[in-house]
């Protein structure tokens, strides 16, 4: 995996952003930026060249799914892999995430190994599809 990949971690809870950032660091990804909701994240995504988005589901202003739909609707962003993070493991959530175009789905709490596996799968899939 390319360790220079630039991640955007989106969560309204700063402790959670820090947790995910730490986990990414454990995996060797040091290039990580943060956003506290979907709207802020979209602005950052449009401004900077990000390679991967890890986003929470439940956020004020703009939820993770709304952001996901906006990303998929944007010509310059729609290729971006988006890993959705949530505490829910409900079927309707997963269906909604899949329909909105999520690249993967991870349920809190998770370990670095789980995250690694999810990211790996998504990147592998992208590689094959390209």
* Interaction site with another protein (CB under 8 A): 12-16, 18-19, 22, 56, 58-60, 87-91, 94-95, 98-99, 104-105, 107-109, 121, 124-125, 128-129
Q: Cβ–Cβ contacts within 10 Å for residue 48, how many?
A: 10
Q: Which residues contact 105 (CB under 8 A, 6 or more apart)?
A: 83, 84, 86, 94, 97, 98, 118
Cβ proximity to another protein: between 49 and 127 the closer is: 127
Least separation in angstroms between CB 117 and another protein: 10
Least separation in angstroms between CB 90 and another protein: 7
**φ/ψ bin of 101: left (φ > 0), alpha (ψ from -120 to 50), beta (otherwise):** left
Least separation in angstroms between CB 93 and another protein: 9
Could you tell me the two tokens for 105?
């789905």
SS3 percent helix, strand, coil of the chain, rounded to 5, is: 45, 15, 35
Cβ proximity to another protein: between 19 and 77 the closer is: 19
Least separation in angstroms between CB 104 and another protein: 6
Cβ proximity to another protein: between 49 and 91 the closer is: 91
Cβ proximity to another protein: between 77 and 94 the closer is: 94
CA atoms within 13 A on the CB side of 100: 23
């Amino acid at each position: 995996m390319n360790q220079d990949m630039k991640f955007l971690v989106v969560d309204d809870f700063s402790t959670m952003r820090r947790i995910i950032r730490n986990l990414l660091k454990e995996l060797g990804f040091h290039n990580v930026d943060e956003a506290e909701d979907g709207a802020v994240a979209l602005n950052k995504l449009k401004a900077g060249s990000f390679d991967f988005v890890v986003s929470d589901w439940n956020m004020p202003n703009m939820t993770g799914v709304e952001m996901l739909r906006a990303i998929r609707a944007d010509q310059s962003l729609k290729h971006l892999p988006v890993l959705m993070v949530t505490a829910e493991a409900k079927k309707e959530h997963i269906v909604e995430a899949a329909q909105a175009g999520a690249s993967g789905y991870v349920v809190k709490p998770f370990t670095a190994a789980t995250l690694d596996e999810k990211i790996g799968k998504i990147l592998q899939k992208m590689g094959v599809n390209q």
